[in-house]
Amino acid sequence: MLSTILLTIGFSAVLAFLIGIALAFFNQKFKVERDPKIDEVRAALPGANCGACGFPGCDGYSEAVATGRAVTTKCSVGGSATAETLSKIMGIDGGGAAEDKVAVLLCQGTKEKTVSKGEYNGIQTCRAAKLSTGSVKTCSYGCQGLGDCTLVCKFDALAMGEDGLPHVNYENCTGCGLCVEECPQKILTLVPRPRLGSIVLCSNRTTLKASVIKTCKVGCIKCEICVKSCPEGAITMVNGIPVTDYAKCTSCGVCVEKCPTKCYKLLETDVFGTKKMVPVMEGAQA
Amino acid sequence: MDLGKIFILALLVNNIVVMRFLALCSYIGMTSDVGQSIGMGFAVTFVTVLATAATWPIYQYILVPLNLTFLQILIFILVIASLVQLVEFYLKKNVPGLYSAMGIYLPLITTNCAILAVTFENISFKYNFIQSISYSVGVSLGYLLAMILLAGIRDRMKTSPVPKFMQGTPILFMATALIGIAFMGFSGLIK
C-alpha cells in the first residue's frame, strides 16, 4: 500500500520534471522575439476594439504604433490622455492630442414634425428601409428612425427616443465614428466637443423651398436669412445647406433667432447643453 | 487484426466525429473556413500520433510493471497537454498565421476528447504499438475528413436560406447527423 503511494508520487514527480525540462528547452528553441513596446502600448489602450483608429482592434493598433507605422493620436476612445501615454512610451513628442469628438445627428425630423410616406412594414433596419423605399419619410434626406446607429454603438451612447430619432448621450460618446459609418443617410457627423458656435440640424439638400415646407416642419427652407443676417459673415450656403465658419462665428445667436424653421442651433447650449437621453422604448427598434 | 483494417475502421466505419460524436467542440468551432479546418485537422493528427507514441510505451513499460495503471488518466492528460504546448511553440514560431487563426482552439486540443479517447482505446483494445499508431492515424485523419466535409458544407450554407430558428449551431448539428447517416453506408465495409 505504502509502496504504491510512494511510487505514484515518485513517478508523477519524475514525469512532470522531465516534461517541464523538455518544454523549457523547446520554449527557448522556438522563441519568438517580440517588441516589449507592443505589450506596453496595448496595456495603455482602452481595449474597446472598436476599430475607430482604422486598425483591426486594439492589438492591431498597438502593433502599428510600436513599429512606428501609426501616429499615437488615432485612438478617439482614449482621447488625449491615451495619446499622451502612447507618446511617452514611444518617446516622441505628443504632436497634438487626439481631438475629442462626439457624434451629432443632423436632423430634427421627429415623427410629429415630418410626413411619412406610409406605414413601413419591411425589415426593421434603416438600411433596408432606405433601399426599398428610398426613404420612409417624404424627406429623402432625413433620419429613417429604425436605429441602425444604436445597434453599432459600443459605448451605450445612442438610444432611440420616443420621438423616433436616436439621441446621443454626449457623456458616453467617444467619437469612434461607428454610427457615422453605419448611417445609410450619412446624417450623423463628428463634431469636436469643445467647439462653440451655430450648426444646422438639417441635411435636406434639395433646392426646392416648397418641397421642404411640405415634408418637414423643421427643415432648412433655403431662405438664406441666416447668411444675410450673420453679423460676422460666417455663414455660406454649401450644397444647399448653410455652413458655419467656426473661425468667424462668435456664438452671437442671431442666426438661431432669425431661422424661421428653428433648424439653426447653438452647439454649446442647444446641442451639448441638453444631454438628454431617452431610454429605449419597448419595440422601438428591431 | 491487420493494420489496414484497423485504419479503415477508425477512418470511416467508426469515424470519431460523425459516427461517435466525439470532439464536437473544435469540429463546430474551427470549420468556418476550409483552410483553417485543414490546419486544425493536421494539428490534431500530429498531436494524436505523438500522444499515442508517447503514452503507449509509458503505459506498457512503466505503469503496468509498477502496477500504477490507475494513474492512466492523470498521466495521459499530462503528456497530451505538454505535447499541445509543444505544437503551440512550433506554430507560433513557424506558422504565425495559423497560430492566430486557431486562437483558443489550439489550447483546447489539450482537452480534445478524440485524442484522449484514442490513447485510452489503444490500451483497452489491447493493440500493440504498431497497431496503436495505425489506429491513431486513422482516427485523426477521420477527424480531418469530417472537418473538411463540414467546412465545405458551411461554405455553401453561407448563401443558403437557412430557417431562422435553425441558424448557427443547430443547422451544423443537423448537417453532421446527415453526414453520419451517409457514413453508416460504410458499416458493411469490414466484416
Q: Each residue of A208-221: pLDDT tens digit?
A: 877 888 888 888 88
**Which of A60-74, B95-109, B123-137 bottoms out in mean pLDDT, i.e. has the lowest?**
B95-109
Q: What is the structure's pLDDT at B183?
A: 92
Question: Would you say residue B85 has pLDDT above 90?
Answer: no
In terms of Cβ atoms closer than 10 Å to its own Cβ (0-12, 13-18, 19+), residue B160 is exposed
Cell triple for A114: 415630418
3-class DSSP state of B177: helix
Asked whether the beta carbons of A90 and A35 are under 8 A apart, the reply is no
Residues in chain A closer than 8 A to B67 (CB atoms) = 4, 7
Does any CB of chain A come closer than 8 Å to the CB of residue B177?
no
Give the residue among A144, A135, A107 at the shortest CA–CA distance from A286: A144
pLDDT bin (cut points 50, 70, 90) of residue B143 is: very high
In terms of CA atoms, which chain B residue is nearest residue A3?
Answer: B66
Question: Would you say residue B37 has pLDDT above 60?
Answer: yes
Rounded CA gap, B100 and B81, in Å? 19
Give the residue among A74, A54, A55 at the shortest CA–CA distance from A63: A55
For A19, which of B68, B78, B93 is closest by C-beta distance? B78
Q: What is the largest CA-CA distance in chain B?
A: 60
In terms of Cβ atoms closer than 10 Å to its own Cβ (0-12, 13-18, 19+), residue B69 is exposed
Is B79 in contact with A16 (Cβ distance < 8 A)? no
pLDDT bin (cut points 50, 70, 90) of residue B60 is: very high
Does any CB of chain A come closer than 8 Å to the CB of residue B167?
no
Q: What is the structure's pLDDT at B140?
A: 93
3-class DSSP state of B110: helix
pLDDT bin (cut points 50, 70, 90) of residue B181 is: very high
Question: Would you say residue B151 has pLDDT above 90?
Answer: yes
Cell triple for B93: 514560431
Low-confidence ranges of chain A (pLDDT < 50): 275-286
- The ipTM is 0.70
Domains belonging to chain A, first-starting first, are 36-90 (1.10.15.40), 101-271 (3.30.70.20)
Mean model confidence pLDDT for chain B: 88
Question: Would you say residue B2 has pLDDT above 50?
Answer: yes
Q: What is the structure's pLDDT at A284?
A: 40
Give the residue among A185, A240, A186 at the shortest CA–CA distance from A208: A240
Is B82 in contact with A4 (Cβ distance < 8 A)? no
Asked whether the beta carbons of A76 and A58 are under 8 A apart, the reply is no
The DSSP code for A198 is E
Rounded CA gap, B109 and A154, in Å? 33
For B82, which of A23, A29, A31 is closest by C-beta distance? A23
Is B93 in contact with A26 (Cβ distance < 8 A)? no
Residues in chain A closer than 8 A to B94 (CB atoms) = 30
Q: What is the structure's pLDDT at B90?
A: 84
A125 to chain B nearest CA, in Å?
Answer: 17
In terms of Cβ atoms closer than 10 Å to its own Cβ (0-12, 13-18, 19+), residue A107 is buried
Is A7 in contact with B68 (Cβ distance < 8 A)? yes
Asked whether the beta carbons of B75 and B55 are under 8 A apart, the reply is yes
3-class DSSP state of B27: helix
State the helix-helix crossing angle for A57-66 and A79-90, rounded to 10 degrees.
40
Cell triple for A244: 458655419
CA angle A24, A28, A31 (to 5 degrees): 130
Give the residue among A211, A205, A202 at the shortest CA–CA distance from A261: A202
Q: Which of B77, B82, B91 to mutate against chain A (most A CBs within 10 Å)?
A: B82
Q: What are phi and psi of A173, to 5 degrees?
A: -65, 130
Asked whether the beta carbons of A211 and A253 are under 8 A apart, the reply is no
Q: What is the structure's pLDDT at B150?
A: 93
Mean model confidence pLDDT for chain A: 83
Average pLDDT over residues B93-97: 80
In terms of CA atoms, which chain A residue is nearest residue B94?
Answer: A30
For chain A, positions 5-34, list CB contacts with chain B under 8 A. Answer: 7-8, 11-12, 15-16, 19, 22-23, 26-27, 29-32
Rounded CA gap, A99 and B92, in Å? 38
Rounded CA gap, B103 and B108, in Å? 9
Q: What is the structure's pLDDT at B153?
A: 93
Write down the domain spans for chain B. 3-188
**Locus of grid cell 492591431:** A60
Asked whether the beta carbons of A195 and A241 are under 8 A apart, the reply is no
Cell triple for A176: 469612434
Q: What are phi and psi of A137, to 5 degrees?
A: -100, 160
Does any CB of chain A come closer than 8 Å to the CB of residue B90?
yes
